Structure 1
Amino acid sequence: MNPDASKKVADFFSQFRKQTYKKGELLIRADDAPSGIYYLTSGNVRKYAISQKGEEVVLNVFKKGAFFPMSFAFNKTRKNDYYYEAMEELTLYKAPIDEVITFLKKDTDVLYDLTTRVFRGTEGLEKRLAYLMAGSAYTRLVTELLIHAKRFGKQRDKGVEIQASETEFAALTGMTRETVSREIRHLKEKRLVSLKKNKLFIEDF
């Protein structure tokens, strides 16, 4: 986010009550109408749906500086179908939806920055969708690894480190954990990645 826009957003949300959540706690449940817009100051939140098979399908991960669920704010009549869950202990502020909309209407710099981020995110979703519909298990996993590395990876001497488990990547790609494990093994054999506990290292990224 643009530094000026980021400060304006932080100043706006800091007027409201600060909240904390523990890992695994739900901020919003499916079928519940969100009572406000959350602004994340630490930690990550995952947005997911439950498939007909009872499997979790992760649609997005929000990190520090994100405010959500904006789709519900702009279309209040739409049913909420998703769960929002803390991935670790986190802190955030929650503002009334109407006040957030008023704030965005008054500050075009923040609205422009938000729009830019939405379109950037849409491009990533389109890429994921293309590989989910037509790509092999290998290309689906590689695409998700690259997206995850770009958003959450930590730069190291000869590559990028990602902190995520095979189970989490299974939920992100819509594949089984066994399939993800097999494809990661193929990547390891090609010396493209290495894996230690829940940390995956992408070589020469």
Structure 2
Amino acid sequence: MARGRVMEGQVRREPEDSSFAWSNERPVYQPAAPIPPITQIPPFSEFAEAELAELLPRVQRRSYRTEETIFREGDPPAFIYYVLSGEISLTLTSEDRRISVGKFPAGRLLGIQTIFDNGPQFVSATALSPTTVLAVPLGELLAILRRHPDALLKMAGIFAHQIRGAARLVAEMQFLDLPVRLAKRILDLVDASAPAAGRHGPAVRITQKELSELAGATRGGVNRALKRLEHLGLIRTSRGTITISAPDRLRRLAEQEPLPMILGVADPGLKGLD
């Protein structure tokens, strides 16, 4: 298809994020109102009906394929995103490594920081599975938020919670050995899903590439750390599957906390640094 033409019934995405591409043409977006899920969470739950009637017709419903980019580091802000279904991974790129700094499942708001500084995106967002979001125009949202200081404070609270989670990840990467970080991430995966019940314990499917992003390490480092955990009898690895052989022992290893008082993210009485 020639670049100068748009087929009937299709529109190009505006170039406000990196998902703009001719290969990413979608059917014309339908108005997203009424949207019960998003109206039940802050700040939208604080808005009057007239304000929702003003905002919701401008909200766009967007669908992304697995591994499709929603936005990239450095993209100018244009929307905040409400995850309707699926899951989104946030990553930072550093030289030859890509580090996962969070996952956003359905019901979460993404890109809140742009409300407060209007700066470029500082992470990349990628769909981990077929994902649908509601893209809320930042300019229109800000105009309404200025009339609702309480709603703005609630947004700040959500953002602060996200910062605390990111601070914990940074502290873990700085102060915990890789096997401990892997133990935490493996248990997070088990707790967040319904793990397959193997003969030797709960099992999760994940590639070394995905695990290296979650742990903030190279694939070679992850491979060596997995072998160490396997040598200790805590896990078994086979063809992209990690089976937890000794759940209690693995959880004790994972309970080590990096600098418990950092930014108030943990109870100062926690032990595990001795």
Is the structural similarity TM-score above 0.5? yes
1:138 shift after superposition: 1.2
Write the deviation string for residues 173-196 of structure 1: whole angstroms up to 9, x where unpaired. 221112212222333344433445
1:33 shift after superposition: 1.0
- Distance in 1 (CA, whole Å) between partners of 2:85 and 2:40 is 17
Q: Is the 8 A contact 2:173 2:181 kept in 1?
A: yes
- Distance in 1 (CA, whole Å) between partners of 2:157 and 2:193 is 21
1:33 corresponds, among 76, 79, 84, to 76
Write the deviation string for residues 108-143 of structure 1: whole angstroms up to 9, x where unpaired. 58964x556545444433332222112222122223
1:68 corresponds, among 110, 116, 135, to 110
Matched, 1:134 2:166: no
Q: Answer 1 or 2: which has greater helix percent.
A: 1
Equivalent residues in 2 for 1:135-174, closer than 5 Å: 135-150=176-191, 152-154=192-194, 162-174=204-216
Write the deviation string for residues 92-122 of structure 1: whole angstroms up to 9, x where unpaired. 111112444436974958964x556545444
- Which structure is larger by alpha-carbon Rg, 1 or 2? 2
- Distance in 2 (CA, whole Å) between partners of 1:108 and 1:149 is 37
Residue 193 and residue 7 in structure 1: after superposition, are their counterparts in 2 closer, same or farther (change >3 A)? farther
Q: For residue 95 of structure 1, what is the aligned residue in structure 2?
A: 136
Aligned length: 198
Q: Is the 8 A contact 1:188 1:194 kept in 2?
A: yes
The amino acid that maps onto 1:153 is S
Which of 88-97 and 190-199 deviates more? 190-199
Matched, 1:44 2:87: yes
Mind listing any 5+ residue stretches in structure 2 that lack a counterpart?
1-35, 46-51, 252-274
The amino acid that maps onto 1:8 is Q
TM-score, scaled to structure 2: 0.59
Q: Is the 8 A contact 1:44 1:61 kept in 2?
A: yes
Mind listing any 5+ residue stretches in structure 1 that lack a counterpart?
none
Q: For residue 227 of structure 2, what is the aligned residue in structure 1?
A: 185
- Distance in 2 (CA, whole Å) between partners of 1:91 and 1:104 is 28
Write the deviation string for residues 147-177 of structure 1: whole angstroms up to 9, x where unpaired. 4444x33267797654432211211222111
- Distance in 2 (CA, whole Å) between partners of 1:17 and 1:79 is 20
1:90 shift after superposition: 0.8
Q: For residue 21 of structure 1, what is the aligned residue in structure 2?
A: 64
Q: Is the 8 A contact 1:5 1:109 kept in 2?
A: no
Identity %: 18
Q: Is the 8 A contact 1:124 1:147 kept in 2?
A: no
Residue 109 and residue 190 in structure 1: after superposition, are their counterparts in 2 closer, same or farther (change >3 A)? farther
- Distance in 2 (CA, whole Å) between partners of 1:105 and 1:47 is 31
Which structure exhibits the higher relative contact order, with contacts defined as CA atoms closer than 8 Å and separated by 6 or more residues?
1
Q: Is the 8 A contact 2:80 2:137 kept in 1?
A: yes
Q: Is the 8 A contact 1:153 1:160 kept in 2?
A: no
